[in-house]
Structures are given as structure tokens and as C-alpha cells.
């Protein structure tokens, strides 16, 4: 009987680091899928929008400004997220992170100079 407990403990110790390994593998697979679909090219285009005033069409905008389109200033971007600043319904300046995959369309209004 003692052996069963020892074997169960050994199996538990072997698989305890599994969630970290799974997360790393999922991230690697996601990067490979993005490369294969060509999303890196889109990310490069979106990275060029930093400090640019844009009109973004997205379903997320409906909750934020009451319309599917919102005017905003792009502050920063990476492969998955876009950091933007916009004015809400109450005239407050809001900074928000938007998932790039949720954006339907981007129209460049003007380029801001630093």
C-alpha cells in the first residue's frame, strides 16, 4: 500500500509543472499561426499608426462611445493590443486598450507630430 502512495506522489510531482509548459507551448503555437496567416504584416502597419488620429470601427466602440465608430489618438501598439485615447459621451478623456482582432476598420484622420 505504501508503494501506491509513493507512486501517486511521484506522478503528482512530475505533472505539477505542466500548466507552465502548456502556456509556453500555447504561446509558441499562437506566434507560429500568426506568422503563417501573415498577421505580422498587419501588426507592422498598425505600429505605424502611433501618434496618429484615427477613426476606428469596432463593436467595442459601441459600448465606449455609443457608436460603432470612434475618433481616437493611437498611443501605442503591439501584436495583439492597441492603446488609444478618446473622448467619451460625457466629454471625459479615456485611455483604453483594444484588441486588434476586434477592430473592423481603421481610417487615418491625421498624423500627429511630437
Higher pLDDT, 30 or 12: 30
- In the chain the domains, ranked by start, together with CATH numbers, are 2-37 (no CATH), 42-111 (2.30.30.100)
Give me the pLDDT at residue 77, please. 92
Residue 33 pLDDT more than 60? yes
Q: How far is CA 30 from CA 19, 69, 95, in A?
A: 16, 29, 27
Gap between the Cα atoms of 12 and 5, Å rounded: 10
Average the pLDDT over 57-75 and give the result: 85
Average the pLDDT over 56-80 and give the result: 85
Question: What sections of the chain are H helices per DSSP?
Answer: 2-15, 18-37, 39-47, 59-65
Amino acid at each position: 500500500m505504501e508503494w501506491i502512495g509513493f507512486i501517486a506522489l511521484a506522478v503528482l510531482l512530475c505533472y505539477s509543472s505542466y500548466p507552465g509548459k502548456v502556456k509556453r507551448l500555447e504561446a509558441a503555437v499562437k506566434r507560429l499561426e500568426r506568422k503563417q496567416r501573415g498577421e505580422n504584416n498587419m501588426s507592422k502597419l498598425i505600429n505605424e499608426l502611433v501618434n496618429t488620429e484615427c477613426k476606428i470601427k469596432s463593436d467595442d466602440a459601441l459600448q465606449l462611445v455609443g457608436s460603432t465608430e470612434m475618433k481616437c489618438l493611437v498611443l501605442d501598439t503591439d501584436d495583439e493590443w492597441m492603446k488609444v485615447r478618446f473622448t467619451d459621451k460625457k466629454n471625459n478623456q479615456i485611455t483604453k486598450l483594444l484588441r486588434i482582432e476586434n477592430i473592423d476598420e481603421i481610417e487615418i484622420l491625421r498624423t500627429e507630430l511630437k
